[in-house]
Amino acid sequence: MTLGEGGSDEMPGAEPADGKLERLRGFFSQSGPVVVAFSGGVDSSLVAWAANDVLGDTALCVTAVSPSLATDEAADCAALAAEWGLAWQTVETDEMTRAAYRVNDADRCFHCKSALMDQLEPLAAARGATVVLGVNLDDLGDHRPGQHAARDRGARFPLVEAGFAKADVRAVSADLGLRTWDKPAAACLASRVPYGTQVTVPLLARLDRAEAALRRLGFGQLRVRDYGDTARIELPLDDLAEAVRRREAVVEAVRGVGYRYVTLDLEGFRSGNLNGALADGNCVVPAPSEAG
């Protein structure tokens, strides 16, 4: 069976999850060696596991380390690589040195993925391999210019080609017994910064510490959005009452990393919700002289 780059014509969920797993295995049986961009999230973890299962050491899993990667996520990548016996290494990406990235306009993710591909392409070329990313069908509907940056440079999206929506990724991961199946959705720390606010290393470090402090209180799925002195916390709706009940601990945790004001978003957790500013036309970008 030949898999087209556009993926399945069937609606997500129209076929059993085990059928999609076989299609994913089929992708790797035909792909030859691959370099997997492995962030430790539920999507890239399934891609890494399947690639390793089919290809063994000819699947190299690579974690990009930079200030935009949460400390907890970096540690979990190492743990998963050890647990699953992955051929794994880290690379350092330089997006923070790029003014076009730091200015944090609507194309920030493009520059981030370009920096990632700058590191992965030489590794792939040396191995005669293809770069693969953990993008699923649901991701295609959001504003994610990084996907275009990767695809334009030859990367492929095995989950898309095998017809996986996000729910399929979790269902198959659970069936396989992968502990990542219910891992909270993660994204780079820069996604917590409203468009038009410069991305800096201290800002990302503060966000990292704030979210880690809240996880130590037992909150799993969350985002801390940065608005200068104010932290806006997003939690699933079911967790809002618990956050209010533990208000003092929550405030102490977030103030302890440097925020003056701590707010709770009553709309709850929404992955990628800062992209709404693009649709509303409210994305204000600093002048070049302010971008550094």
Residues in the chain, pLDDT under 50: 1-14, 277-278, 280, 282-292
**Percent helix, strand and coil across the chain, each rounded to 5?**
55, 10, 35
pTM comes to 0.84
Edge to edge, what strands does the sheet with 87-92 contain? 87-92, 59-65, 34-37, 130-132
Q: What pLDDT, in 10s, does the model give residues 51-108? A: 999 999 999 999 999 999 999 999 999 999 999 999 999 999 999 999 999 999 989 9
The span from the CA of 104 to the CA of 100, in Å, is 7
pLDDT at residue 275 in the model: 53
The span from the CA of 16 to the CA of 191, in Å, is 33
Of 240, 283, 248, nearest in space to 264 by CA? 240
Q: Which residue has the tokens 């399945």?
A: 8
The span from the CA of 97 to the CA of 115, in Å, is 10
Of 47, 46, 25, 24, nearest in space to 36 by CA? 47
Query: Alpha-carbon Rg of the chain, whole angstroms?
Result: 19
- Reported as half-sphere exposure (CB side, CA atoms, 13 A), residue 83 has a value of 14
